[in-house]
Amino acid sequence: MEADLEVTGPVKVHLSAATSATDTDFATKLIDVYPDGTAFNVAEGILRARFRDGLLSPSLVTPGEVQVYVIDLASVSIVFRKGHRMRLDITSSNFPRFDRNMNTGNPFGEDAEGVIAEQTLFHGSVHASYVKLPIIKR
């Protein structure tokens, strides 16, 4: 950061992504990285792909098809200090904090073994991926 930056309010990550699985997870963490490299989690969130349109509208994913996933990281209030960096980690799990997704599309608890899900994240004018931050101006 070239100057202090206050972020106060709801944080959302918008991912344009494709997966090789019929269901998978996308997990994100917003991290404050100090000048010495020490990193602290600020907020985190996860979205199971089948619930991308809401908990009441589950639907499996068509493998290879680009979908938009909006991941809610809840609300934060932090000042990223001058000299710090902001980092976003994007993964396909956050176990044991959140239950595993076996990537099969079967109901929870049915599978003893999972399948590998290959994830592709997109960014650019056609398929944008971005973080929506509530920045408070000084």
Mean pLDDT, the chain, integer = 96
When divided into structural domains, the chain yields a total of 1
Residue range(s) defining the domain that contains residue 84: 5-136
Give residue 109's pLDDT. 87
Residues 56-77 have pLDDT tens digits of 999 999 999 999 999 999 999 9
Per-residue H/E/C for the chain: CCCCEEEEEEEEEEEEEEECCCCCEEEEEEEEECCCCCEEEEEEEEEEHHHCCCCCCCCCCCCCCCEEEEEEEEEEEEEECCCCEEEEEEECCCCCCCCCCCCCCCCCCCCCCCCCCCEEEECCCCCCCEEECCEECC
Q: Assign 138 a pLDDT band (cuts: 50, 70, 90).
A: confident
Q: What is the CATH number of the domain that holds 73?
A: 2.60.120.260
Residues 43-55 have pLDDT tens digits of 999 999 999 999 9
